[in-house]
Amino acid sequence: MRAMKTAARMDSIGTETAFEVSARARALEATGKSIVYLQIGEPDFDTPENVREAAKAGLDAGLTHYPPYAGLPDLRAAIAADTTARRGFTVEPSKVFVTVGGKGVMVYAIMALIDPGDEAIVPDPGYPIYESITRFVGGTPVPIPIRMENDFRLDVDELAALITPRTKLIVINSPANPTGGVLTRGDIERIAELAIRHDLVVLSDEIYARILYDGAEHVSIASLEGMAERTIVLDGFSKTYAMTGWRMGYAVVPDWLVKPFGQLIINTISGVTAFAQAGAIEALRGPQTDVDAMVVEFKARRDLIVDGLNAIPGFRCNKPQGAFYVFPDISGTGMTGAELAEGLLVDAGVCVLAGTSFGGVGVDHIRISYANSRENLQEALERIRAYVGARTPARA
């Protein structure tokens, strides 16, 4: 039966619970149960029309062949110009790689950098794939706790204490999934100092950089002195332009990673769907009014969900400054996040994720994605209130 056994490395790969929970919720729905879906990080808006039209035109114009493996030259130029303008450091198109989703960037970055035994510091709670792929390649993920008490910003002193001679990579993600936390310029400057002092590489996941509220500032660590040469910037089209199904992301890498990134792309995907890239060019170069309108709407939804959750006994929810997630502490309900998520799905028909889907620190939390209509959010709040109310004994 040797042939029927997977390679040992498959024992160390993790998962992204959102996809599994979604399948379970859809199966429940098929049995006739009504479900409000708040588990997945996906804007409910359609991709803007100009972007869809550009991809259709690309298809008709013959973009049906293999594209250059690193991306269409025009798209790489558009990404380089956009990054230079928005992030404030000069990027040449040769440092840009178009990938299948932003997820592709994290997989390539970790594969290119982590040897067995190397350590990568990853946020906890954080996007689960950083940890999963680090283990998959034989590395050791070292969690840096991210706490609500610190507005879901990492504590830079704590980060410094986690650095060892085996540390190779620090992963940061601001604005963050699953908390919506945003690092300040001061935080980023101190992280950069540590990276330079200890000769570390930074994977900066900036996929929510455009989804910011209350005047919060996005600072790309790559824009700080001495950092572009040791930073991989991850961004993509999924969130900003409501293009999750297009599977388009990109990396901006330092010179010394240009060849490795190219080799990894050639070895895995050969390049990204050519006509989809035509849509992405239009996304960056066309009007940005749809993006702005989406952010205005996300902000209204954030306020609705934060106020609604804070009115439920046992919930404590901060007001995040970015992304489209909240990560309330629900310990006051007497349940763990996993117990509450299970009960909400099965009994109340509200699909959320347990905080532990993002690391051990989130045990008392659930994650809610509020990228859903206000009407559905209102309905979810009512269902959660009723479910929790029925379980929490009324206080005298």
Binding site for ligand PLP (CB under 6 A): 41, 101-103, 127, 173, 177, 205, 207, 236, 238, 244, 249
State the virtual CA torsion across 9, 11, 13, 18 in degrees, nearest 10: 160
Nearer to ligand PLP, 305 or 348 (CB): 305
Nearer to ligand PLP, 187 or 205 (CB): 205
Residue 358 CB, nearest approach to ligand PLP (Å): 10
Q: Which amino acid is at 380?
A: A
Residue 347 CB, nearest approach to ligand PLP (Å): 27
Nearer to ligand PLP, 240 or 318 (CB): 240
Residue 8 CB, nearest approach to ligand PLP (Å): 27
Determine the Cα–Cα distance for residues 345 and 312; give it in Å rounded to an integer: 17
State the virtual CA torsion across 25, 293, 46, 69 in degrees, nearest 10: -100
CB 345 within 8 A of CB 177: no
- Tell how strand 366-369 and strand 353-354 pair up: antiparallel
Residue of closest CB approach to ligand PLP:
101
Residue 207 CB, nearest approach to ligand PLP (Å): 4
Give the residues across from 169 on adjacent strands: 120, 201
Determine the Cα–Cα distance for residues 255 and 262; give it in Å rounded to an integer: 12
Let me know if 12 is exposed, middle or buried by CB neighbors in 10 A (0-12, 13-18, 19+).
middle
Nearer to ligand PLP, 69 or 241 (CB): 241
Residue 387 CB, nearest approach to ligand PLP (Å): 26
Nearer to ligand PLP, 211 or 312 (CB): 211
